[in-house]
Structure 1
Amino acid sequence: MKAVRLEYLRPGDQLAHPIIDSYGRVLLQKEVIFTEKLIKRLSDLDFKYVYIEDELSDDIIPQNIIDEELRIEAISNIRNTFKVFHQYKKKKHQQYMLEQSVNTVQQTVNDIIGVVDQHDEILSIMSDIFMFDDYLYNHSVNVTVYTLVLAKELNYSSRQIEEIGIGAMLHDIGKVKVPKSIIDKPGKLTDMEFEVVKEHTTYGYEILKQFKGIPSVVANCAYQHHERLDGSGYPLGLKGPNIHEYAKIMAVSDVFDAVTSNRVYRNAFLPHEGLEILYSGSGTQYSQEYINLFRKHISIYPNGAYVTLSDGRSGIIASQTKIPDRPIVRILDEGEQPISKSEVYDLDLSQKPDVVITDCNTTQV
């Protein structure tokens, strides 16, 4: 299968993977044949891209480190926890509900830790390509996975890994106090609206710090994940030494997922573009150590993406190697000359140091 931006989708193309919402409901079944009406409907719903069946890439499978069932369960638990925190009024029955929600978050984090521990290979891209709604909760899951992988590679203790995992899962909980009209605004925020959004860090800290069952470092994750090494972040404008290490790690995960996820106001950047954004702030806004570690453990060219090589050849990412920016490419044309189906072959870039990817899109055009 190959990834195709919606503007390149054509009537007669066949969906290669079901599209579901964050409640697990199937919106479009696999093998649906697209019509002009269906394509327009997806466009009206702000879909950006889909995977379609393709004869030359029918064995190419999208990546995802956690399966669909665990993702939906995690999203449900985060959604319910945010709701409980938002409605909390210090009443006895609500205190019980809160404790249950925190326990559920802890269990969800441990479930994801178990999955991460089983994966020693390059981290798979966490794509929301199949998930229709609830950006906030999808984002919380993705940031949790990325952060846990980095914590594992930093040889954090089991306690620290669990702490930072809970911090990542709840880092945006303060957004429950930001008006939904601002959170879901399709256009650019005004300066005043952005100031309101920035308050989510303080809201999150105030929400979390009042509960004894939550470590103080978890509250600080919510408070500091938008702080930057050079003091340009918010809400306090802290500089490097004064920012908690958990928040520095989370900043890398948070920015990468934010820019590589579909939003109502823009298309997602491709993973290699997201990494370039991080590197543009390396050492000034974000820790170079954590960006480098992140780069070593993510595959920045997702399976199914169409790429151009430095020698003029082009094709589709077929699978990953142990080197994130050196995947296996299924070559579909030599220069500008397409090759026949029988001549299609896979090129392992980890074995070809003189050939590099010079361009990446989500479709052949």
Structure 2
Amino acid sequence: MRRIALREVAPGAVLAMPVYNERGDVLLAAGVTLTPRYLALLEQRGIRYVLVNDEETADIVIPEYLSAAVRQRALQTLATLYDRVATVTMARLDRTPNPTRLLTDAGRRSTLSAALQAARIADLVEIILDDALGADTLGAMVAIKGHDEYTFAHSVEMTALAVLLGRRVGLSMADLRVLARGCLLHDIGKIYIAPAILKKPGALTDEEWAQVRQHPTWGYELLRAAQPNDVVVNHVAWQHHERQDGTGYPRGLRGANRFERPEIGRIGYIHPFAEIAAVADVYDALAVDRPYRPAMAPEAVVATLRRLAGSHLNQELVEVFLTIVPEFPIGTPVRVVEGPLAGYSGVVARLAPTPPHQPVVRLLRNAQGRRIVPLEIDLAQETGVRIATDESRL
């Protein structure tokens, strides 16, 4: 199995992993033969790459930190919840310039609380924990999603990533449940933002950006009205865009660049669960296509996290996170950029089990682009070899 750019896929290739829309409906199932019609459908959905099975990589297993069934259930749960919440709160900026005013009505708060309870987020958290905690590292790249199918899928992926990080820094199961609930609901304030803004391919206007910057506050107010006792969950939604140096939003809170457990009332500081959420949020956001930019190559995502550590993101948490996340996940198309085989290309076949998770690369083409008998090189042993993501195939 390997990841391949959609433009490189020839009709007749076999899809290795299912592709969903934002609401969790299966667009194409695993095992489907990709026809020209199916390829056109994927392109229309903004999907730039797929995972395929072929003879050269049939034995390569890309581990999933969430199963297809769990992803599907999570997407469906969030889509239904957002619909219900939007109906209850009449979430339309053109009708309601200050949407949180609607939450002062006791009847609406009660209905909103019932909608959250009906979504059974706690049950969803349990199955996500069961899946995610079975993985020691993020061996695979983040799940396939088109640039128009981001919000729900992003919440699901970043929840799993946050849980992996939370476990690595020693959170209890009770704390992991709170963290996961906060992450699943962290972007619920976006129901008040027009889809045209969220999916805009170009730069936002000042007015549009001002609306986007309100979503943590809107989400917090919404959650506080529905579940006033879930203080930490609500604050994850409120604080996930705060920065260590105080330049984040909406309140300009600061961080200590260490992982610690301050009380929620520690004035002026970001809650550590929101700091975990921020690391997972940034990683997933950079690793996938967005309407205004393509996904970054995996090593560029890792480099960006390192650059943001200390100023934007909690330094200690980023350092721990990078022991979980490999620079070159399994299935990544790569090329040799330094060493005797410079110019050769292939795919990451396996990873070393311990950090820094050096890859074993299966080379499939020579420097002239011609197929070769597959040749594997272990970068833990070949110290003079350097690779990079083959972005022509990404």
CA 1:210/1:118 → structure 2, altered by over 3 Å: closer, same or farther? Answer: same
Percentage of pairs with the same residue: 30
Matched, 1:277 2:327: no
Deviates more, 1:265-274 or 1:229-238: 265-274
- Cα RMSD of the aligned pairs, angstroms, is 2.7
Maintained 8 Å contact 1:122/1:324: no
Determine the C-alpha separation between the residues in 1 that align with 2:15 and 2:193: 36
Equivalent residue number for residue 161 of structure 1:
176
Maintained 8 Å contact 1:128/1:262: no
5+ long unaligned stretches in structure 1? none
SS in 1 for 2:226: coil
Determine the C-alpha separation between the residues in 2 that align with 1:151 and 1:166: 13
Aligned 1:281-296 pairs, distance under 5 A: 281-296=308-323
Matched, 1:118 2:134: yes
Determine the C-alpha separation between the residues in 1 that align with 2:65 and 2:181: 18
SS in 2 for 1:350: coil
Letter paired with 1:57: T
Equivalent residue number for residue 320 of structure 1:
351
Equivalent residue number for residue 91 of structure 1:
107
Maintained 8 Å contact 1:167/1:222: yes
Matched, 1:255 2:256: no
Determine the C-alpha separation between the residues in 2 that align with 1:99 and 1:244: 23
Equivalent residue number for residue 174 of structure 1:
189
> How far has the Cα of 1:42 moved from its partner?
3.3
TM-score, structure 2 as length reference:
0.82
> How far has the Cα of 1:3 moved from its partner?
2.0
CA 1:67/1:204 → structure 2, altered by over 3 Å: closer, same or farther? Answer: same
CA 1:178/1:66 → structure 2, altered by over 3 Å: closer, same or farther? Answer: same
CA 1:49/1:99 → structure 2, altered by over 3 Å: closer, same or farther? Answer: closer
Determine the C-alpha separation between the residues in 1 that align with 2:62 and 2:234: 35
Equivalent residue number for residue 390 of structure 2:
361
CA 1:198/1:130 → structure 2, altered by over 3 Å: closer, same or farther? Answer: closer
What per-residue deviation string (whole Å, max 9, x for no partner) do you get for residues 59-93 of structure 1?
22333211110111111122222333331564387
Determine the C-alpha separation between the residues in 2 that align with 1:337 and 1:76: 42
> How far has the Cα of 1:278 moved from its partner?
1.4
Equivalent residue number for residue 32 of structure 1:
33
Matched, 1:101 2:133: no
SS in 1 for 2:73: helix
Letter paired with 1:349: L
Matched, 1:340 2:372: yes
Equivalent residue number for residue 380 of structure 2:
350
Determine the C-alpha separation between the residues in 1 that align with 2:206 and 2:150: 22
SS in 1 for 2:75: helix
Letter paired with 1:315: G
Equivalent residue number for residue 266 of structure 1:
293
SS in 2 for 1:4: strand
Deviates more, 1:134-143 or 1:322-331: 322-331
Matched, 1:330 2:362: yes
Determine the C-alpha separation between the residues in 2 that align with 1:80 and 1:25: 12
Letter paired with 1:226: H
Determine the C-alpha separation between the residues in 1 that align with 2:232 and 2:83: 22
Maintained 8 Å contact 1:225/1:250: yes
Maintained 8 Å contact 1:18/1:130: no
Maintained 8 Å contact 1:80/1:101: no
Equivalent residue number for residue 298 of structure 1:
325
SS in 1 for 2:322: helix
Determine the C-alpha separation between the residues in 1 that align with 2:112 and 2:315: 41
What per-residue deviation string (whole Å, max 9, x for no partner) do you get for residues 311-357 of structure 1?
1243211122223541121122465585633xx23223234344332
TM-score, structure 1 as length reference:
0.88
5+ long unaligned stretches in structure 2? 90-104, 257-268
Equivalent residue number for residue 265 of structure 2:
none
Residue number among 216, 225, 232 corresponding to 2:247 in the alignment = 232
Deviates more, 1:192-201 or 1:236-245: 236-245
Determine the C-alpha separation between the residues in 2 that align with 1:213 and 1:198: 23
Deviates more, 1:26-35 or 1:154-163: 26-35
> How far has the Cα of 1:282 moved from its partner?
1.6
Maintained 8 Å contact 1:65/1:126: no
Letter paired with 2:326: S
Equivalent residue number for residue 259 of structure 2:
none
> How far has the Cα of 1:170 moved from its partner?
0.8
Q: How many residues align?
A: 359
CA 1:225/1:264 → structure 2, altered by over 3 Å: closer, same or farther? Answer: same
CA 1:225/1:85 → structure 2, altered by over 3 Å: closer, same or farther? Answer: same
Equivalent residue number for residue 234 of structure 2:
219
Equivalent residue number for residue 57 of structure 2:
57
> How far has the Cα of 1:48 moved from its partner?
1.1
